[in-house]
A and B are shown apart, each in its own frame.
Chain A
Amino acid sequence: MTSTVAIDKAAPTRTVKYGSMSRDRTWALRWSYFFLTLFAIFSLVPPIYMLITSLKSSAEISAATNPWWVFHPTLSNYIELLTRNQFLRFFLNSAMVSIFVVTITMLISVPAAFALSRMRFWGSATLATGVFLTYLIPDTLLFLPLFKMFAVFGDWTGIQLINRWYVLLIVYPTLTVPFCTWIMIGYFASIPKELDEAAIIDGASWFQTLTRIFIPVALPGLIAATIFAFTVSWAQFLYPLVFTTSTDQLVLPVGIITTLIKGDVFNWGQIMTGALLGAAPPLIIYAFLMDYYIAGLTAGATKG
């Protein structure tokens, strides 16, 4: 008896409560959208301001008009930069370095990840942890000893590495390989054992197992690792600043900062155009492959 009474009492209050809950919910939603808009503005102001400034002439930049609006849009900054050989050289250097580094990284880290995740051997577990720890050693700790090492190497062998763009092909893999190996180990470990056992029974060699089974199955991981390697080598600033100085050897970030800023004279229209063009390749990749990009970003921590 008591229970039926309780239900009778509860019925009207329940509807009221539903109403208040959904009202709470709509308000929570409104507040969420409000704050998200604020944060999105905070995030997007610098890139948008790059775009605004890049469309202005230098006369308009130094005029005391509203900086947030373009009154006389012009493409002169883009034309000037894209027809200048020096800037194209930076772009080409950056592209070459990034593409080579991605290739080297994949050639080193995919076989290594395969061996570490599937072919257990003495010390493989320690090595896997060691790989992750090397990822934590920052570039700012290594640039001075590396600089000295390359100088000594040049003295000994006569092969000049300092101030050549290809020195970056040697140092960038130290940033990309450990992390890429680490995410590939995670992806390879998630492939069921039965798959490669079946391949081995069918007479496939280890190499065939890797190329025919593991690489196709772990393709999303491979794409995520490739994107990571590309963005890291495209954005790296410290190593090229230390190891290259001649203008024909520079990559884009360093090139923009060292050649477009002359003493105290800042040609902001061109600097912003250059910065926007330099930011474009990672942004375009991100726009098309956002899910892979985020998968690579979160894989490092959730899998380890």
Chain B
Amino acid sequence: MVDVTFQPNSVIEARLPRKRASLRTALKRKSTAAFLMTLPLILLITVLVLYPAFYSLHLATLNKSMQRFVGFGNFEFLFKRETFWLVVKQSCIFALSAVFFKALIGFVVAHFVHNIPAKGQRKWRGMLLVPWVIPPAMSTLAWLWLFDPSYSAFNYTLAYFGIGPIPWTGDAYWARFSVILVNIWFGAPFFMIMYLASLKSVPEQLYEAAAIDGANWWQRIWYVTLPMMRNIIAITTLFSLIVTFANFDITRILTAGGPLDHTHIFATWAFRVGIEGGDIPLGASVSLFMFPILAIAAIFILRDINKRGNEA
């Protein structure tokens, strides 16, 4: 106000550049504000995800006391150990078979839920998703108790049908089966929910057209449902493959890697070697073997995201 009364001309002149400057600061402010808003996220990801990821690469090249650089020494040591190859084998068996059955059961159950009248679906879906909701560490304890050798509820029930006591977690093959079974129990509901959501988005007209063309139920699934669900099936399977490869809770609690290291997977063995054995570099080298599967999955998922980005 003071400016206006004393120097009216200079005010107008001064206001123009000031307005331009404030516009510029506003523009600057938008990007600064955007930067400040994402800063915590960027910091979190760099300091606590990216840095440790590369740090584990560095750790894997050190000796046990972490004072001497040994290059690929840890990996050479691993390749010579029989347990390591057991772990590789078990990790692949565990992840592939668990993901396959999770996807299969999820697909089948999603169809059954989709089949029944809409008003009852909510109730069934609610019940079937319970395994996914319970923290896996808690539900695995329940399985451990169900598998208990002497007071086992399963063996009691099987004895009723005249089937002898089964060493659920005591025998190497049965222990492998048990670990996979629990993982299927925990993960199948996730597939079921994803497939159900994508089943609902398949247009009904396609099925009507297929029915008019005389397609039987198998042809309807093969030529209509599966192509329409292809994206969801691919992304859910990749997701689950990563999570299952990196699984820790179930194996750790159910068998702790036993009997005789036959059910160890990368994560549990890395924990055994790195934390319990105190050899952090060796543990880091073991956990690095989860990286290739991660990279492959990431490439596929990235391609999928970019494709969808172009469509939109």
Check if A and B associate: yes
Across-interface contacts of B280 in A (CB, < 8 A): 144, 147-148
Complex contact B302–A133 (CB within 8 A):
yes
Residue B72 at the A interface, CB < 8 A? no
In chain A between 249 and 295, which residues have their CB closer than 8 angstroms to a CB of chain B?
Answer: 253-254, 256-257, 266, 268, 271-272, 275-276, 278-279, 282-283, 286, 290, 293-294
Complex contact B194–A149 (CB within 8 A):
no
Complex contact A46–B139 (CB within 8 A):
yes
Complex contact A146–B128 (CB within 8 A):
no
Complex contact B193–A257 (CB within 8 A):
no
Across-interface contacts of B270 in A (CB, < 8 A): 140, 144
Which stretch (A28-36, A74-82, A84-92, A215-223) binds chain B?
Answer: A28-36
Q: A115-B34, A121-B35, A129-B305 are in contact. Are A279 and B248 (CB under 8 A)?
A: no
Minimum Cβ distance to chain A for residue B16 (Å): 21
Minimum Cβ distance to chain B for residue A272 (Å): 6
Across-interface contacts of A49 in B (CB, < 8 A): 142, 145-146, 153
Q: A42-B185, A134-B49 are in contact. Are A173 and B44 (CB under 8 A)?
A: yes
How far, in angstroms, from A272 to B138 measured CA to CA in the complex?
A: 8
How far, in angstroms, from A293 to B59 measured CA to CA in the complex?
A: 39
Interface string of A122-140 (1 = CB under 8 A from B): 1010010111111011111
Across-interface contacts of A286 in B (CB, < 8 A): 129-130, 133
How far, in angstroms, from A147 to B280 measured CA to CA in the complex?
A: 9
Q: Nearest residue in A to B58 (C-beta to C-beta)?
A: A145
In chain B between 115 and 129, which residues have their CB closer than 8 angstroms to a CB of chain A?
Answer: 115-116, 122, 124-129
Residue A109 at the B interface, CB < 8 A? yes
**Chain A at the B interface: mostly helix, strand, loop or mixed?**
helix
- Greatest chain A CB density within 10 A among B137, B266, B280 is at B137
Interface string of B294-312 (1 = CB under 8 A from A): 1001100110010010000
In chain B between 195 and 251, which residues have their CB closer than 8 angstroms to a CB of chain A?
Answer: 197-198, 232, 235-236, 239, 242-243, 245-249
Complex contact A145–B116 (CB within 8 A):
no
How far, in angstroms, from A268 to B153 measured CA to CA in the complex?
A: 13
Q: Nearest residue in A to B274 (C-beta to C-beta)?
A: A144
Of B30, B151, B189, which contacts A43 at CB under 8 A?
B189
In chain A between 58 and 99, which residues have their CB closer than 8 angstroms to a CB of chain B?
Answer: 61-62, 66-68
Residue B21 at the A interface, CB < 8 A? no
Q: A235-B136, A235-B137 are in contact. Are A142 and B53 (CB under 8 A)?
A: yes
Minimum Cβ distance to chain A for residue B57 (Å): 9
How far, in angstroms, from A173 to B248 measured CA to CA in the complex?
A: 19
Residue A177 at the B interface, CB < 8 A? yes
Across-interface contacts of B189 in A (CB, < 8 A): 43
Complex contact B246–A43 (CB within 8 A):
no
**Chain B at the A interface: mostly helix, strand, loop or mixed?**
helix
Complex contact A301–B194 (CB within 8 A):
yes
How far, in angstroms, from A140 to B247 measured CA to CA in the complex?
A: 8
How far, in angstroms, from A288 to B41 measured CA to CA in the complex?
A: 31
User: Number of A residues whose C-beta is below 8 Å from B?
Assistant: 94
Residue A226 at the B interface, CB < 8 A? no
Across-interface contacts of B246 in A (CB, < 8 A): 138-141
Residue A57 at the B interface, CB < 8 A? no
How far, in angstroms, from A110 to B88 measured CA to CA in the complex?
A: 40
How far, in angstroms, from A279 to B50 measured CA to CA in the complex?
A: 32
How far, in angstroms, from A128 to B269 measured CA to CA in the complex?
A: 33
Complex contact B38–A112 (CB within 8 A):
yes
Complex contact A44–B130 (CB within 8 A):
yes
Across-interface contacts of B283 in A (CB, < 8 A): 144
How far, in angstroms, from A33 to B117 measured CA to CA in the complex?
A: 11
Complex contact A140–B248 (CB within 8 A):
yes
Residue A213 at the B interface, CB < 8 A? no
Across-interface contacts of A283 in B (CB, < 8 A): 130, 133-134
Q: Nearest residue in B to A284 (C-beta to C-beta)?
A: B133
Residue B109 at the A interface, CB < 8 A? yes
Complex contact B52–A275 (CB within 8 A):
no
Interface string of B42-70 (1 = CB under 8 A from A): 10110011111101100100000010000
Across-interface contacts of B290 in A (CB, < 8 A): 138, 140-141
Complex contact A140–B287 (CB within 8 A):
yes
Complex contact B48–A28 (CB within 8 A):
no
Across-interface contacts of A235 in B (CB, < 8 A): 135-138
How far, in angstroms, from A229 to B246 measured CA to CA in the complex?
A: 20
Complex contact A43–B153 (CB within 8 A):
no
Of B34, B49, B134, which contacts A279 at CB under 8 A?
B134
19 inter-chain pairs at a CB distance below 8 angstroms, sorted by A residue, are: A39-B112, A47-B139, A68-B153, A68-B157, A111-B40, A119-B33, A132-B305, A136-B297, A139-B246, A141-B291, A142-B49, A143-B275, A145-B284, A238-B248, A271-B145, A275-B138, A279-B134, A279-B135, A290-B122
Where the two chains meet, the residues of A that have a C-beta atom closer than 8 Å to any C-beta of B are: 28-29, 32-33, 35-36, 39-40, 42-47, 49-50, 53, 61-62, 66-68, 107-109, 111-112, 114-116, 119, 121-122, 124, 127, 129-134, 136-149, 170-171, 173-174, 177-178, 181, 206-207, 231, 234-235, 237-238, 241-242, 253-254, 256-257, 266, 268, 271-272, 275-276, 278-279, 282-283, 286, 290, 293-294, 297-298, 301-302, 304
For the complex of A and B, the 10 pairs showing the least CB-CB separation, nearest first, are A138-B246, A235-B135, A140-B267, A145-B52, A119-B34, A111-B37, A46-B142, A115-B37, A112-B41, A253-B137
Where the two chains meet, the residues of B that have a C-beta atom closer than 8 Å to any C-beta of A are: 30-31, 33-35, 37-38, 40-42, 44-45, 48-53, 55-56, 59, 66, 105, 108-109, 112-113, 115-116, 122, 124-139, 141-143, 145-146, 148, 151-153, 156-157, 185, 189-190, 193-194, 197-198, 232, 235-236, 239, 242-243, 245-249, 252-253, 266-267, 270-271, 274-275, 280, 283-284, 287-288, 290-291, 294, 297-298, 301-302, 305, 308
